[in-house]
Amino acid sequence: MKNKIIGLVFVLLNISCATQEIIPVDPGPFLKDSYEARSFLKRSLSSVPKGITLVTPANKADVLDVNWPGDALVATVTENLPWKNHSHYNFILDLSDIDLMSYNQTDSSAMTASVLLDYYFSKLVNRDFKVAGEHHTFIYHPIQFASNTWFKKEYNIIITGSVYINVEYKNAVVTADISEIFE
């Protein structure tokens, strides 16, 4: 019995003193997916639906940073683990040329804020992003609000899109919040 206890203690000491080799994870696929998401958002957010005009100057609305993950960026991310990036973008739309009351404003999926949210963000699912849930919406006259979050299942890339509309002034604020974490 004494030999078994000594053997067990010896095994436990070897296990606790063992070193683990840390295998670095290649951030290349993460950065490629991040680039593709940003590239999609840049194209999507730079378009304007028919009957709506962009109030924010084009050079201020087109500021989404899209960098191809070159060797320098991969090396920077690898050296600075955990790597985190958070970005926030917004712009204002003029809705005076559309009839906001032509939609059934009591149905949250048909209200103008939800329609604009779908226009700008819903195609993220075609880029393998998952929807976090149903749209978050509310109407409190004169404000309409719609928001949702999309995430990349394999990586920590989270995009939250929101649309705020003032029905009286007929303008909308579209926001995109992007969080990327690579550990």
Q: Are 51 and 97 in contact (CB under 8 A)?
A: yes
Report d(CA 154, CA 126) in Å as an integer: 15
The three-state secondary structure class of 65 is coil
* Neighbouring residues of 61: CB distance < 8 A, sequence distance ≥ 6: 45, 46, 54, 91
Lowest mean pLDDT among 9-13, 39-43, 52-56, 154-158: 9-13
**What is the pTM assigned to this prediction?**
0.78
pLDDT digits (tens, 9 = 90+) for 116-140: 999 999 999 998 899 988 878 888 8
Better-scored residue on pLDDT, 165 or 103: 165
Report d(CA 143, CA 159) in Å as an integer: 23
What pLDDT, on the 0 to 100 scale, is given for residue 57? 80
**Residue tagged 């080799």 (tokens):** 21
**Residue tagged 């226009």 (tokens):** 119
Q: Are 152 and 182 in contact (CB under 8 A)?
A: no
